């Protein structure tokens, strides 16, 4: 049985709990609820949380129910204090925000994001790259700026972070603010707050593209991004094998949810095949053949292209030199083709579809996004 907002609303009304629930949001089988406890007592907050969770599980036993209970306050909080994640607004000067995502880790998403950014810059665009993988930032390593520290600049009387520039790309990452070997052990709310600051407290200037390298999965950071800025479109990265394609499908479905509605510009297949230098005519499909292309056809989204296993791409990422920066290399030709396909898909998207709206938390009054 599919979960929708009206069904959850009816469940809450049956147990007379609708008056305590401020917001509900549904993403697939995940049900996220913000509630207000009439009592500050810990046991009352726990009782309300258990009541909501158990009631929903009676009708939807497989649902991933997440309930956040706050204490009712007599003071009227400002919107930023009430929910610091919902500060969605367009960023002045940025024309297109492209999310690069994957359902599964280890498929080369950050490598694809980095080389897409460099390809766009080589095509003459002004490009920024935001490393939104809060817990596993890798973009500083890929651009050889691990030890760089952004400094503050005054913009219209406000202090803003100045992105680090490398290979003509403006870059920001949580990796600039932590030690190289420091683990970022944060809960979702803190990670989302950090993402908010990287987006809105930065001096990006005028950009044709801001590429956002998302963490793998479909969790808090993905939701925070679409709540904070109008994402123009998403690029999904996968490898050909079934275990990766299953998660890639979830990534596509997340952006296509009615409550999110971000156009998917296409799918990139990474690690498609291997060609030895001594056998340039041979292709070895180590992880399977045409998996992502077939998935794109099934889901009716564009297939942007395939990236083979090329030693230079791996070496470039490890050495802080994006492979696409080397003109006339095989990697640069491949990524240039993929980037052109993405831009073509973007032009069609901007011609035929209205601008993406920022996702709003669903309220009980009408349950509208």
Q: What share of the chain is helix, strand, coil (3-state, %, to 5)?
A: 35, 25, 40
Residue with tokens 């209205």: 354
* Residue 147: strand, helix, or coil: coil
Distance CA 47, CA 63 (A): 19
109 labelled as ligand-binding?
yes
108 labelled as ligand-binding?
yes
Phi first, then psi: what are they for 63, rounded to 5°?
-70, 140
The DSSP H or E segment spanning 164 is strand 164-166
Whether the CB-CB separation of 331 and 297 falls below 8 Å is answered with no
N-terminal to C-terminal alpha carbon distance within the chain: 22
* Residue 159: strand, helix, or coil: strand
105 labelled as ligand-binding?
yes
> What DSSP character marks residue 284?
B
Label residues 261-294 b or e (16+ Cβ within 10 Å = b).
Answer: ebbbbbbbbbbbbbeeeeeeeeeeeebbeebbbe
Whether the CB-CB separation of 6 and 367 falls below 8 Å is answered with yes
- For 91, the token pair is 């960023």
> What DSSP character marks residue 356?
P
Name every residue whose Cβ is closer than 8 Å to that of residue 288 and which is 6 or more positions away in sequence.
Answer: 240, 241, 242
Distance CA 71, CA 167 (A): 49
Whether the CB-CB separation of 299 and 318 falls below 8 Å is answered with no
DSSP track, 185-228: ---HHHHHHHHHHHHHTB---SEEEEEEEPPSSSSHHHHHHHHH
107 labelled as ligand-binding?
yes
Binding residues for ATP: 103-110
> Which residues are known binding-site members?
103-110
């Amino acid at each position: 049985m599919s979960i929708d907002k009206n069904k959850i609303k009816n469940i809450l009304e049956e147990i007379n709990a609708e008056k305590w629930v401020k917001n509900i949001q549904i993403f697939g089988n995940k049900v996220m609820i913000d509630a207000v406890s009439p009592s500050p007592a810990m046991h009352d907050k726990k009782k309300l949380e258990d009541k909501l969770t158990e009631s929903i599980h009676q009708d939807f036993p497989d649902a991933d129910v997440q309930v956040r209970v706050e204490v009712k306050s007599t003071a009227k909080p400002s919107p930023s204090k009430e929910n610091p994640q919902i500060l969605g607004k367009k960023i002045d000067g940025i024309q297109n925000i492209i999310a690069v995502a994957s359902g599964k880790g280890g498929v080369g998403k950050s490598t694809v994001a980095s080389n897409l950014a460099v390809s766009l810059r080589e095509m003459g665009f002004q490009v920024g790259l935001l490393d939104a993988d809060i817990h596993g930032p890798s973009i500083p390593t890929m651009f050889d700026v691990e030890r760089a520290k952004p400094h503050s600049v005054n913009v219209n009387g406000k202090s803003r972070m100045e992105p680090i520039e490398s290979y003509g790309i403006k870059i920001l990452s949580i990796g600039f603010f932590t030690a190289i070997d420091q683990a970022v052990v944060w809960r979702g709310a803190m990670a989302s707050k950090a993402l908010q600051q990287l987006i809105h407290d930065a001096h990006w200037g005028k950009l044709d593209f801001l590429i956002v390298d998302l963490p793998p999965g479909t969790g808090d950071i993905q939701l925070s991004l679409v709540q904070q800025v109008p994402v123009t479109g998403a690029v999904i990265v996968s490898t050909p094998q079934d275990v990766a394609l299953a998660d890639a499908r979830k990534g596509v479905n997340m952006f296509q949810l009615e409550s999110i509605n971000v156009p998917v510009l296409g799918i990139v297949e990474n690690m498609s095949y291997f060609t030895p230098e001594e056998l340039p005519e041979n292709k070895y499909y180590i992880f399977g053949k045409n998996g992502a292309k077939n998935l794109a056809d099934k889901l009716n989204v564009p297939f942007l292209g395939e990236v083979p296993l090329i030693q230079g791409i791996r070496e470039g990422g490890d050495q802080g030199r994006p492979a696409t920066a080397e003109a006339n290399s095989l990697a640069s030709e491949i990524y240039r083709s993929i980037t052109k396909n993405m831009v073509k898909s973007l032009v069609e998207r901007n011609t035929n579809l209205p601008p993406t709206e920022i996702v709003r938390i669903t309220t009980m009054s009408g349950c509208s996004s």
